[in-house]
């Protein structure tokens, strides 16, 4: 049997964030226009494995995904053992911009899903000059809590089991079994309270409803792609963002759910490739 290797390389980056030392895991593949990828709440950069393994993307893009602090192979900062993790809009924004600067990325395309899609809207509003284009997956301006978040982090409920079970229905019905369960495995592997801490941003701190209409797509193009079966960020919520942001382009992806790049990469790429082509075309003009 001959072993095969994927074209992905991973490195650990040491970086000060919010005055604390951080050890952050960064993966990348390909060469060309930087494409920075943001994972969903409670998961990690492996969600973008298919993009990094697809030559149609990597032949012209440097695809980069980092695991947020506390997630995947990134560590929480020193002192974490006495801290309740809660992600805020300000921290999330700083983290992304600092990591971009450390990697010397020149106006990357940003693609973010769920919480990554939400912060993409914040960045489109506050830092449009820093990005070539922004692609929001499952991006809505706000989500109301619809279950008691305390169940995600208490000793009599297994955090990994419940996190995966909470999100399992967000995977679309056409997802191949292997990709569906790979996606859920990432949730099962999350650290205690991390998914819950991310949802502090998603459901409380990161509400951008009153400002989203101020996004200026002349300064940074905005593309929105949302799965039909997502009941966390519903198609209606994405369409509401699109309707309030002139110049944004929106597509509802049939049969897909909340994790398009991870749950069903083959279908998702049918939607993503034309967007990347369009962004590339604008660059060439």
Partner 1 sequence: MIEALKARVNGDEALVRRGRFLSTTFLLEVGQTAWLISIFEGEVVSVTSGPFVMPSSSFALRAPEQEWQKFWSSRPPPGSNDLMALIKRRVLKAEGNLQIFMANLRYFKEVLAKLRQAGAEA
For the bound state, the minimum distance from the C-beta of residue 217 to partner 1, rounded and expressed in Å, comes to 28
Which lies closer to partner 1 via its Cβ, residue 18 or residue 185? 185
| Residue (66 or 195) nearer to partner 1, CB | 195
Contact 230, 258 (CB under 8 A): yes
Task: Please tell me the chain's helix, strand, coil percentages from 3-state DSSP, rounded to the nearest 5.
Answer: 40, 20, 40
Judged by CB, which is closer to partner 1: 18, or 231? 231
- Cβ 54 to partner 1 shortest distance, Å: 27
Residues 6+ apart with CB under 8 A from 191: 70, 71, 76, 159
Least distance in angstroms from the C-beta of 80 to partner 1: 25
Which residues contribute to the site for partner 1 (CB under 8 A)?
146-148, 151, 156-158, 161-162, 164-166, 168-170, 173, 228-232, 234-235
Q: Which residues are CB-contacts of 31 (< 8 A; sequence separation ≥ 6)?
A: 58, 60, 61, 62
CA distance 39 to 42: 9
Alpha-carbon gap, residue 152 to 265, rounded angstroms: 28
Kindly give, in sequence order, each residue whose CB lies less than 8 Å from that of residue 43, ignoring residues fewer than 6 positions away. Answer: 71, 72, 183, 186, 187, 190, 259, 262
Shortest Cβ 65–partner 1 spacing (Å): 27
Q: How far is the CB of 237 from partner 1 (least distance, A)?
A: 12
Closer residue to partner 1, CB minimum distance, 95 or 225: 225
Residue among 110 and 162 whose Cβ is closer to partner 1: 162
Smaller CB separation from partner 1, 45 or 235: 235
Q: What angle do CA 95, 234, 245 make, to 5 degrees?
A: 65
**Contacts with 262 (C-beta within 8 Å, 6 or more apart), sequence order:** 43, 46, 47, 48, 49, 50, 179, 182, 183, 186
Nearer to partner 1, 77 or 159 (CB): 159
CB of 209 to partner 1, least distance (A): 18
Q: For residue 246, how many other CB atoms are within 10 A of its CB?
A: 12
**Chain centre distance of CA 66:** 10
> How far apart are CB 258 and partner 1 at their closest, in Å?
11
């Amino acid at each position: 049997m001959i072993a095969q290797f994927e074209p992905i390389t991973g490195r650990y980056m040491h970086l000060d964030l919010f005055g604390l030392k951080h050890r952050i895991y960064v993966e990348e593949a390909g060469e060309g226009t930087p494409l920075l990828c943001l994972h969903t709440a409670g998961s990690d950069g492996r969600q973008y494995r298919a993009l990094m393994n697809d030559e149609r993307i990597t032949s012209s893009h440097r695809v980069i995904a980092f695991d947020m602090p506390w997630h995947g192979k990134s560590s929480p900062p020193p002192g974490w053992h006495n801290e309740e993790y809660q992600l805020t809009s300000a921290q999330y924004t700083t983290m992304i911009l600092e990591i971009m600067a450390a990697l010397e990325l020149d106006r990357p395309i940003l693609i973010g899903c769920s919480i990554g899609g939400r912060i993409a809207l914040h960045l489109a509003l506050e830092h449009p000059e820093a990005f070539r284009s922004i692609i929001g997956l499952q991006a809505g301006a706000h989500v109301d809590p619809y279950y008691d978040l305390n169940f995600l982090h208490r000793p009599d409920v297994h955090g990994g089991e419940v996190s995966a079970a909470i999100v399992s229905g967000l995977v679309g019905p056409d997802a191949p079994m292997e990709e569906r369960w790979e996606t859920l495995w990432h949730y099962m592997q999350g650290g205690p309270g991390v998914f819950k801490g991310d949802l502090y941003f998603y459901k409380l701190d990161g509400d951008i409803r009153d400002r989203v209409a101020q996004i200026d797509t002349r300064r940074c193009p905005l593309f929105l792609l949302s799965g039909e079966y997502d009941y966390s960020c519903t198609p209606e919520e994405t369409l509401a963002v699109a309707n309030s942001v002139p110049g944004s382009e929106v597509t509802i992806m049939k049969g897909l759910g909340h994790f398009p790049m991870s749950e069903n990469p083959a279908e998702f790429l049918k939607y993503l490739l034309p967007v990347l082509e369009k962004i590339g075309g604008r660059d060439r003009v």
